[in-house]
């Protein structure tokens, strides 16, 4: 038999008040971009869900000149009713800001895939392609990309190099004691293909340490170097808008205007 007791209005009120206070004390949602320390070096890492985030590549402003600066891209998006949540240089470029390797924007290929070895970091094979296509994304070695997209390109793609991590292994040319230390940025994809990680070093680091950030800290089996020296970040949730030299391709996260 269940005994029923009269309800206490004061108890109900206090209970409701307690629930309200608990709700008010919940921590705010985590930022997409957060500081990470790895091997005693500071980084900023921005993580985005591939299926729910509007991630795009941008190069040429509607006026025909390169966007070149984050602020110019932000202002152009605002005029169309959007907001810029995140941006980072999205690949290597020539002096006139044209992409060095493959570049695809909104389904249109603007520069071809380069399969041969060459000078500089870009030509340090294996290199690869960062791509986005209707709720999917990849960081794919160049020859594998060519086979995968032989029929038609994805919506967005940017070729760069070298691959930082390929199949869980560091690029074979990386040296733990490599003397070349620069500010660097890159992109990696989680093992389940659901999360893209964009990372930038906040102090100069070598390739080996930067690649290990992706493999050992972020757990990405494949990661691609995007650039160095010119590397910089726009992160609205950190109120961070770094100035610097004009850029070529820019990878960005676009949201509706608040």
Per-residue pLDDT at 5:
34
Positions of the chain with pLDDT under 70: 1-30
Per-residue pLDDT at 66:
97
Per-residue pLDDT at 258:
85
Residue 194 lies in a domain: yes
CA atoms within 13 A on the CB side of 161: 26
Residue 159 lies in a domain: yes
Per-residue pLDDT at 31:
73
Query: Could you report the per-residue pLDDT of 9-50, keeping only the tens digit for each?
Result: 444 344 444 434 333 333 334 579 999 999 999 999 999 999
Query: Taking a C-beta distance cutoff of 8 angstroms, is the pair 98, 14 a contact?
Result: no
Per-residue pLDDT at 208:
98
Query: Could you report the per-residue pLDDT of 139-165, keeping only the tens digit for each?
Result: 999 999 999 999 999 999 999 999 999
- How many folded domains does the chain comprise? 1
DSSP 8-state assignment for residue 21: H
Tokens of 5: 């007791």
Residue 19 lies in a domain: no
Reported pTM? 0.88
Domain of 69 in residue numbering reads as 31-256
Per-residue pLDDT at 45:
98
Per-residue pLDDT at 24:
37
Q: Is 92 helix (H, G, I), strand (E, B) or coil?
A: coil
Per-residue pLDDT at 30:
53
Report the candidate in 167, 163, 172 with the shortest Cα–Cα distance to residue 225: 163
Residue entry with tokens 């950190």: 238
């Amino acid at each position: 038999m269940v005994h029923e007791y009269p309800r206490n209005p004061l108890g109900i009120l206090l209970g409701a008040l307690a629930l309200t206070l608990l709700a008010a004390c919940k921590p705010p949602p985590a930022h997409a971009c957060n500081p990470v320390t790895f091997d005693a070096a500071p980084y900023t890492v921005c993580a985005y869900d591939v299926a729910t985030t509007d991630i795009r590549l941008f190069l040429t402003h509607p006026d025909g000149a390169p966007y070149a600066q984050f602020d110019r891209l932000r202002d152009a998006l605002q005029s169309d009713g959007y907001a810029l949540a995140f941006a980072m240089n999205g690949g290597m470029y020539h002096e006139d800001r044209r992409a060095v390797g493959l570049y695809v924007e909104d389904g249109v290929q603007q520069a071809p895939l380069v399969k041969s070895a060459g000078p500089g970091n870009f030509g340090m094979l294996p290199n690869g392609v960062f791509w986005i296509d209707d709720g999917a994304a990849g960081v794919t070695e160049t020859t594998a990309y060519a086979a995968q997209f032989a029929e038609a390109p994805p919506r967005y793609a940017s070729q760069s190099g070298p691959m930082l991590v390929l199949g869980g292994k560091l690029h074979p040319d990386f040296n733990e004691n490599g003397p070349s230390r620069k500010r660097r940025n890159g992109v990696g994809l989680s093992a389940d293909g659901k999360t893209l990680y964009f990372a930038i070093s906040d102090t100069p680091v070598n390739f080996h340490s930067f690649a290990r950030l992706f493999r050992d800290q972020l757990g990405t089996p494949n990661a691609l170097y995007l650039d160095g020296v010119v590397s910089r970040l726009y992160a609205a949730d950190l109120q961070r808008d770094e100035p610097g030299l004009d850029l070529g391709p820019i990878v960005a996260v676009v949201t509706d205007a608040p």
